[in-house]
Amino acid sequence: MEEKVILRPATPDDLEAILALQQTAPGAASWQPADYANAFADAAGLCLLAEDSVRARVAGFLVGRLAADEAEILNLAVAPGYRRQGIGRRLVAEALAVARQRGAEKCWLEVRAANRAARDFYRALGFAETSRRRGYYRDPEDDGVVCLRLLAAGPAGVSLQGEPAP
């Protein structure tokens, strides 16, 4: 199953499919079309799509941002029928590899405290939970958990085979 899912840059043409996927993933940030338009237009933005090339369906997406030596994952979702197949891991690995190539040394993200699946996912990918922002989220209200992954330089670049953060 996984072999037919390819990663490629997301473009404004993918907006409709990304919004449809977002609807199926309440854990993802509830972005409006303008938020994605800004990300596509941002030179520091990183927009990735996981596409099922056989069924011509969007299986997942990631939106991030790179600034100086820091990267941030801003939104991420994998479609329900494609979860637990390593697609989220591949999206994050690709984002971190690009971030490292562009000089980032660390990657931040924030996740709802109640989103246990995503917290377990990020922990499995070597992110450490560094702090908590009380009442950061609304609708429903929730704490934000700030996560950090250091990006080690090395001959193999960034690897995400479940190893702990360096």
Provide the binding-site residues for ligand COA, judged by CB under 6 A.
Answer: 25, 27-28, 76-78, 83-89, 111, 115, 117-118, 120-121, 124
Nearer to ligand COA, 2 or 103 (CB): 2
Residue 3 or 43: the one with the smaller Cβ distance to ligand COA is: 3
Helix segments in 9-142, DSSP class H: 15-23, 33-41, 87-101, 116-124
Q: Which of 82, 110, 129, 163 is catalytic?
A: 110
Least Å from the CB of residue 145 to ligand COA: 9
Residues 125, 17: Cα–Cα separation, whole Å: 26
Active site residue 129: no
Nearest to 54 by CA among 6, 86, 13, 20: 6
155: its two tokens: 């001959």
Which of 69, 71, 3, 80 lies closest to 42 in space, CA to CA?
71
* Catalytic one of 122, 136, 141, 163: 122
For ligand COA, the closer of residues 89 and 106 by Cβ is: 89
Nearest residue to 70 (alpha-carbon basis) of 45, 99, 48:
99
User: 43 or 139: whose CB is closer to ligand COA?
Assistant: 139
Min dist CB 163 to ligand COA, Å, is: 13
Work out how close the CB of 82 gets to ligand COA at its nearest, in angstroms, rounded to a whole number.
7
Return d(Cα 134, Cα 132) in angstroms, integer.
6
110 is a catalytic site residue = yes
- Positions annotated as catalytic residues are 110, 122
